[in-house]
């Protein structure tokens, strides 16, 4: 064999050995992240919000009215045979508004001629159950109830940054993730479509405790008084980059159009990796769901997965100020074929979890098997 060919083969063998060794050392796998968040609807008021979880791993923040609020109004919005008596869902799609309510009375053959179900104000008997809330959009609920109440959303957590196409004027956006995040974490100020400075774009954030909106801009260090960072209109001297973004936000685009990108919280930036290395156990496939427990009548967020008798499982939860930490550890033998985690959604308000699978007894490599 020629020396050059021997050197090339030697390099290839070294590279293969290095990669194979790294893969053999990878003895764990991680589930997709799951999570939930609770939103408080203010009595006799307009409350902005968004769903910040997806229905499938790697899915979009893009759901129908039926998927979001239930085919038969399972979420419990105040129904009404006349829209003025019902809770209204307000959705802004570009420059157009859509108002949706739930009619709970069969009025076919009556002057109204409307059947039971989700209806659009001004659209007669048209079925709005399959109306899809635009991707990454926020929306409002106009409540007719005399007391505050809550809605909950549960599912999978987004894996990467989300982008929004803005038009001139007011744009309603979802935050993107079920956990609280700050203006600094969002990275909005780095977006080419977000104009900074005193005369630039404005971020409007709803504050449930006051029922009002705080307004923010990102100061341009090249403009007087030459400071940089997030500032609240009315108190410009303070850097407010650590103020939290609620489940939705409004961006007032002063001029033209543009695209903004919202970054995930640092601890939730899920890397796109190969799920099955040579020696890793199967990835836990979580099934998240919400149910009302009969014992206390409270909403619980649950996740379930099929277990492998050769694998141990560790459940970790995430907090923005603490990072990931362990709350449960399971080892074989398992009495049943499924494992479950749950969290009482109130008073927690939000949560994110993942499950890590590791071999209970590491499998032995097959010495007789030839490498390809």
* Segment 105-128, tens digit of pLDDT: 998 888 888 999 999 999 999 999
Position 11 in a domain? no
Position 353 in a domain? yes
79, burial (CB in 10 Å: exposed 0-12, middle 13-18, buried 19+)? middle
Using the predicted structure, report yes or no on whether residue 201 has a pLDDT greater than 60. Answer: yes
Arithmetic mean of pLDDT, 147-161: 95
Position 312 in a domain? yes
Position 193 in a domain? no
Between CA 160 and CA 35 the distance in angstroms is 15
Q: Identify the band that residue 41 occupies on the pLDDT scale cut at 50, 70 and 90.
A: very high
Q: Based on the structure, what is the number of domains in the chain?
A: 1
Position 281 in a domain? yes
Position 343 in a domain? yes
Which one is predicted more confidently, 205 or 272?
A: 205
Q: Identify the band that residue 190 occupies on the pLDDT scale cut at 50, 70 and 90.
A: very high
* Residue 297 phi, psi (nearest 5): 70, 15
Q: Identify the band that residue 367 occupies on the pLDDT scale cut at 50, 70 and 90.
A: low
Position 249 in a domain? no
- Determine the structural domain holding residue 312 and report its residue range: 26-30+273-359
DSSP one-letter code for 170: E
pLDDT tens per residue across span 253-263: 999 999 999 99
Which one is predicted more confidently, 226 or 348?
A: 348
Which one is predicted more confidently, 5 or 174?
A: 174
Arithmetic mean of pLDDT, 35-61: 96
- pLDDT, position 279: 83
Position 326 in a domain? yes
Beta carbons of 194 and 251 less than 8 angstroms apart? yes
Using the predicted structure, report yes or no on whether residue 17 has a pLDDT greater than 50. Answer: no
């Amino acid at each position: 064999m020629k020396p050059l060919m021997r050197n090339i083969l030697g390099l290839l063998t070294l590279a293969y050995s290095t990669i194979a060794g790294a893969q053999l050392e990878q003895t764990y796998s991680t589930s997709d992240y799951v999570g939930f968040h609770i939103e408080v609807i203010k009595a006799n008021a307009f409350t902005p919000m968004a769903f910040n979880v997806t229905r499938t791993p790697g899915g979009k923040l893009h759901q129908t009215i039926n998927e979001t609020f239930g085919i038969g109004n399972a979420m419990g919005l105040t129904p009404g045979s006349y829209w003025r008596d019902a809770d209204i869902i307000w959705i802004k799609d570009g420059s157009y508004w859509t108002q949706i309510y739930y009619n709970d009375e069969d009025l076919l053959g009556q002057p109204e001629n409307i059947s039971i179900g989700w209806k659009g104000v001004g659209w007669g008997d048209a079925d709005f159950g399959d109306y899809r809330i635009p991707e990454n959009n926020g929306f409002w609920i106009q409540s007719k109830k005399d007391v505050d109440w809550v809605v909950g959303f549960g599912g999978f957590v987004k894996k990467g940054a989300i982008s929004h196409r803005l038009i001139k004027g007011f744009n309603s956006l979802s935050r993107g993730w079920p956990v609280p995040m700050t203006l600094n974490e969002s990275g909005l100020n780095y977006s080419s479509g977000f104009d900074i400075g005193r005369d630039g774009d404005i971020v409007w954030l709803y504050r449930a405790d006051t029922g009002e909106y705080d307004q923010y801009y990102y100061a341009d260090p090249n403009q007087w008084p030459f400071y940089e960072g997030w500032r609240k209109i009315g108190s410009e001297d303070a850097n407010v980059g650590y103020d939290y973004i609620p489940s939705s936000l409004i961006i007032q685009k002063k001029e033209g159009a543009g695209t903004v990108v919202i970054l995930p919280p640092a601890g939730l930036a899920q890397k796109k990796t190969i799920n099955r290395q040579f020696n890793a156990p199967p990835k836990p496939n979580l099934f998240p769901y919400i149910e009302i427990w009969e014992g206390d009548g409270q909403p619980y967020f649950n996740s379930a997965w099929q277990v492998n008798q050769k694998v141990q499982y560790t459940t970790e939860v995430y907090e923005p100020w603490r990072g990931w930490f362990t709350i449960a550890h399971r080892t074989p033998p398992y009495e049943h074929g499924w494992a479950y985690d749950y969290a009482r959604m109130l008073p927690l308000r939000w949560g994110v979890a993942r499950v890590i699978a590791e071999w209970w007894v590491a499998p032995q490599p097959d010495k007789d098997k030839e490498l390809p």
